[in-house]
Structure formats: C-alpha cells, structure tokens
Amino acid sequence: MTPFGQRLRQLREERGVSQKEMAAAIRVSAAYLSALEHGRRGQPTWDLLQRMIGYLNIIWDEAEELQNLAMISHPRVTIDTAGLSPEATELANLLANHIHILDKETITSLSTMLRQAYKKHRSLR
C-alpha cells in the first residue's frame, strides 16, 4: 500500500463510502480504485485526483495533503544517479536491493533524515 492509497482508503472509510460507490461517482472501475488503494497502480491523473477531492468534499488542507501524497506514492520508483557521486549510486542500489529487509523504525529514521536534508537544501537556495 502507498501513502496515497492508505490516506484515500481512510478518507473513504471515514465517510462510510464503499469502493464501488466512490468508483461510480468518480467514473472509474471499482477494480481501478482498489488498485490505487493497494498501491498496484501509479499516481492518479490530475483530473482524477480533483474528482476524488470533490467527491470526498475535503477542505483545502486535506486536498493539498492528498495531492502531495499522490506525488510521492508511485509504487515503482526509478532513481537516476547519472552524474552523481559513486556513493550516491551505491546508496540508491543498496536501497533498491535491500528495502524489503528494513524494519519500520529504520525506514522512518531514513525518511526523516532525507526530509531534513531536503528542507536544508531548500532553505539554502
């Protein structure tokens, strides 16, 4: 399951709406909506995301959160390390080859470190 799929399911369930009902309302199949929730499909299109937001009747904070989650929830990630250091290439390969053995605590720790590095980078611009 992706962060987007998890949040979408949570929002849908909070409203007491079935996948079938929501899928019909936003004009997709229930199978497609299920695949989005379970992380078997990539990012929804902008148009579909807007239909979801409208259907769920969520406020702008939640809408922004859902949009951001969609952007970071592609289940098949490609990392291009061309032009980066050998250490960056090694890190990308280690993560790709061994992410399945990491426990939740380690993943959370790594994610926090990367978010902090990103914030630092943005503040230096």
The structure's pTM equals 0.71
83-110 CB burial, b ≥16 within 10 A, e <16: eeeeeeeeebeeeeeeeeeeeeeeeeee
**CB atoms inside a 10 Å sphere around CB 12:** 19
Burial class (CB in 10 A: 0-12, 13-18, 19+), 117: exposed
At residue 21, the pLDDT reads: 97
Digitized pLDDT (tens) for each residue of the chain, 125 residues in all: 889 999 999 999 999 999 999 999 999 999 999 999 998 888 899 999 999 999 999 998 999 999 999 988 887 888 999 999 999 999 999 999 999 999 999 999 999 999 999 999 988 87
Domains detected in the chain: 3-71 (1.10.260.40), 86-123 (no CATH)
Using only the alpha carbons of the chain, give its radius of gyration: 17
Predicted pLDDT of residue 73: 87
Which pLDDT score, from 0 to 100, does residue 122 have?
A: 87
> What confidence score (pLDDT) does residue 95 get?
93
Residue 124 is predicted with a pLDDT of 86
* Phi-psi domain of 107 (left: phi exceeds 0; alpha: psi -120 through 50; beta: other): alpha
